[in-house]
Every structure is written in structure tokens, then in C-alpha cells.
Amino acid sequence: MDLYELPLIDVAEKIRTREVSPVEVARSALARLDEVEPRLGAFVTVTADLALQQARTAEKEIADGGYRGPLHGIPLGVKDLYDTAGVATTSSSAQRAENVPTIDSAAVAKLYDAGMILIGKTHTHEFAYGATTPTTGNPWAPDRTPGGSSGGSGAAVGSGVVHVALGSDTGGSIRIPAALCGTVGLKPTFGRASRVGVASLSWSLDHVGPLSRNVIDAALTMAAMSGYDRRDPGTVDIPVPDMVAGIDAGVAGTRIGIPTNYYTERVDPEVAAAAAAAAATLEGLGAELVEVTIPLPEHVLPAEWGIMTPEATAYHHDHLRDSPEKFTDEVRALLETGAAQLATDYINALRLRTLIQAAWKDMFASIDVLLAPTVVAPATLRSDPFVTWPDGTVEPATAAYVRYSAPANVTGLPSLSLPSGFSTAGLPLGVQIIGKPFAEPEILRVGHALEGATDVVGRIAAVTAQVA
């Protein structure tokens, strides 16, 4: 079995005991990248020389007794929104084609401190403003979308190139590709981790986090990249918990909310069935299922778009004025829409978010976590990114995919997506576990229990370099 196929903790143990070198691990990842990249297009930049240089440094540090922990020597993919010193950070846009940062983003710097090595920068939907990542194919079916905006990261993890890749999540951009690519994706609580050095889509909705092969990988990575940063006023000055300790404690007595509305509407039957099966599995492990009504459901998407659209336009104001032709038509149209939005509409969306947050807090008084599908349907075709419903209506993929993920962005609550099965067409399906503020250890514990009771988490897509 090749090194890239092993679980991260197994590779980490081999590195710790010096059974294998970080250089061997990096070469395994790069070889897998060469094998699958012609079909997937997951990477905008491959940093092979840098990866081997960092791997040699890690090898020497470990030989000298400087082992830093289970992420030391582990390859990493980084969404091309995150600044990386000396490595182009383009946001998959012509606007930043020549952008080479001189310092690392806060999250990348922390993961470098943990000893991770950079394999490359992964494609994003331009400036994260979409949910399909048109440049990239799904590892389970390259003619299908990997989701977005962190589609490159989802494809890189789902195909086995890396165990972990960074994403960002403003309306579901970590969890959507996680669900569609068969990986784990963790959006933390708003304020848990610094976004310094990450191109913004919507300042008050943006979150940073990992996509990974399994739940423990997500826990290790999220803990390493978390913490207060005075440069990011959105971060909260609270201790970072050990996100792995207690992860094996099980779910006996845990109250799991099962929605009776919103997450049950306009959803593919196979997606709904997979979520129901996940609930039944957790109940069989000792959890208590509690039916809940999602409050103010009709206001979630108006709040999401009412906040995101003008905040995105404000961030890109200068580029929209000076070089609008460098945006894709899709993103330019969205930014122009934001420019036309009234300030009163934005303020009302902010007020509406406060009401939604309060109502969700009340809902969580009777439950510990909420279990729901991550997205409404499996991956659509890249050539036809629309969901067609049984009544004949057609919904754009971005609008459809954001529908179930946006509530955790509007509320700022932590949400963990993990594989829940496969469709009859062989496409991954996902469920998400949403928790209370800063309860990442709890949703990870529930996710780990569900992971251990199924055989779908951690699978690697058998994509090859054969031309589609």
C-alpha cells in the first residue's frame, strides 16, 4: 500500500518512529498528484520543490529530536485564497494573476509551525464566489462538479493527493465540496480561527477550516490553526480546546436534533435516506433523537445573500471600478448586484441575522447537536450545473447547494460534514453535524462515532490519469 493511501495517524506514527521519512511521504503525495491531476485540475500551483525542501527540513528536525507532533511532515494542500510567502496566491482570478505574497496567512503559518509541508495551492471558485469550482473535476466522476468554492481542496483530498487541505466557508464552501467529494469538512465557530491573510468574500460570514480524510485529521488540523489573533477582530479570545481528547467517548445520552422542516424540503430522496440512516446509526449507538423545528427558515437565505452580496462588493470595490474585465462574467455580475443593493437592505439583513441567531439558540436548548443533510443533491454535471427536481423545476447548483449549508454561516455555529454513503450512481452523499458555539469537540465526537459505525469515511476515489 502506498503511503498516500494510509490514514494520517498511521503515516504520522511511521514518521515519528523514523520508519519513513517526510521526504518519502512528500514524494508519494506528488506521485499521486501526477497520476490524477490531468483529469481533476485540482491545483492551480504545484510546489514540488518547496515540498521536498520542507520535507528534508522536517526529516532533519525529527532526526535531531525535534518532533513537533502528528502533523509534522504531513503534506498539505492550501486553497488559493490563503497567502503563502513566495508562492503565487491568485484566488483563481485574473485580478491576482501576478500576486506573490511576502508573508504567510495566519492559518498557514500555524500549520507550518506544526511541521506541515506545502504540496500546492488548490483551485477555488473565483474569489470563493460560487459553489461549483468550474476549473476542477470531482474525483469520483471527473465530469461532475467537486462543489465549491473549495472544490480544488475537496478534489485533492478525495483523490488521495493530500490527507488535509485548507478551505474557507462563507455559505458552505468547506462543507459543500466535502459532501460532494466524499471527504470530511469542518467549518468552525465564527471567531475560532484567524482569517488574516485570506482573501475575503464576506467579512462577517467568512470562516476558515480543513477538509480531511477523516474526523481525527480534521480535529488535529483545526486545533493547530485555531486561536485568538488581534489582527482579526472577528476572533474570540478563548482557549483552544484539545479537539482529540475525548473524541472516542461515544454518543450515549447525546440529544441529536432531527429537523422536521427546511432540511426536509426539496431534497434528493437518496440524500434524505442517507441522513435518516445516519440518525438511526447514532440512535443505535445510544444517542437520543429529538425532533425540532428549524426557526425562521424562510429568512435564512435572504439574510445570507443580503449580507454576503454587499460585503463582497465592498471588498472588491477598487477592482470592480478599475479592472472589471478581469473578473469572470459570473462573478462580475454578482459584484455589480451588490453595488446596487441599498444600505437599508444590508442593515435589515444584519438585524435579521440577529433574530435568527437568537431563535437557533432557543432551539438548541433542547438538543446538543443538529443532524441534517449537507447538500440537497449529489454532484451535478460540470457542463450543466443545475439541479432538476421531479416537478420539472430547475435550480442553479450554487443556489441549491448553499441552501442547507447557509444556516451555519448565518448563525456562526460550528458544522462538521462527513460522508454518509453513495448514490446509486456512485456519487458521495454527506451529512452535517451542527453544534453550539465553540462546541467543536462535541460535533467531532459525534462525527467520530458515526464514522466508526460506517464504512464510507476515508475512502479514496479510484480516479486515474486516463483522459476523460
313: pLDDT strictly greater than 50 = yes
Each residue of 73-89: pLDDT tens digit?
999 999 999 999 999 99
Determine phi and psi for 388, rounding to 5 degrees: -105, 125
How large is the average pLDDT for residues 392-420? 97
Confidence of residue 465 (pLDDT cuts 50, 70, 90): low
Question: How many Å is the Cα radius of gyration of the chain?
Answer: 20
State how far the Cα of 80 lies from the Cα of 277, in Å rounded to an integer.
36
How large is the average pLDDT for residues 404-414? 98
Each residue of 177-198: pLDDT tens digit?
999 999 999 999 999 999 999 9
Predicted pLDDT at 397: 96
Predicted pLDDT at 468: 37
Provide the b/e sequence for 370-389 (b: ≥16 CB within 10 Å): bbbbbbbbbbbebeebebee
Report the predicted TM-score, pTM, of the whole model to 2 decimal places: 0.97
How large is the average pLDDT for residues 396-423? 98
Q: Active-site residue among 21, 28, 79, 417? A: 79
428: pLDDT strictly greater than 90 = yes
Predicted pLDDT at 463: 86
Q: Active-site residue among 149, 202, 226, 423? A: 149
Q: Sketch the domain layout of the chain as residue ranges.
A: 3-453
173 as an active site residue: the answer is yes
414: pLDDT strictly greater than 60 = yes
**Residue 35: which residues within 8 A CB-CB, separation 6 or more?**
464, 465
Into which CATH architecture does domain 3-453 fall? Alpha-Beta Complex (3.90)
Predicted pLDDT at 279: 98
Predicted pLDDT at 74: 98
187 as an active site residue: the answer is no
- Give percent of the chain above pLDDT 90: 98
Predicted pLDDT at 467: 38
Q: Write down the residue that cell numbers 485580478 correspond to.
A: 95
62: pLDDT strictly greater than 80 = yes
- Judge contact between 357 and 190, C-beta under 8 A: no
Supply the DSSP symbol for 213. Answer: S
How large is the average pLDDT for residues 352-372? 98
Provide the b/e sequence for 122-153 (b: ≥16 CB within 10 Å): bbbbbbbbbbbbbbbbbbbbbebbbbbbbbbb
Supply the DSSP symbol for 267. Answer: -
State how far the Cα of 63 lies from the Cα of 21, in Å rounded to an integer.
10
Predicted pLDDT at 1: 85
124: pLDDT strictly greater than 80 = yes
State how far the Cα of 252 lies from the Cα of 77, in Å rounded to an integer.
36
Query: Mean pLDDT over all residues of the chain?
Result: 97
In DSSP terms, which residues pair with 416 in a beta bridge? 186, 433
How large is the average pLDDT for residues 429-437? 98
Q: Active-site residue among 173, 194, 420, 423? A: 173
- Judge contact between 18 and 126, C-beta under 8 A: no
- Give percent of the chain above pLDDT 70: 99
Predicted pLDDT at 87: 98
In DSSP terms, which residues pair with 395 in a beta bridge? 387
Q: Are strands 288-292 and 428-434 parallel, antiparallel or unpaired?
A: unpaired
464: pLDDT strictly greater than 70 = no
Strand ranges (E), 285-393: 288-292, 369-373, 386-388
Strand ranges (E), 171-326: 184-187, 207-212, 255-259, 288-292
Supply the DSSP symbol for 127. Answer: G
168 as an active site residue: the answer is no
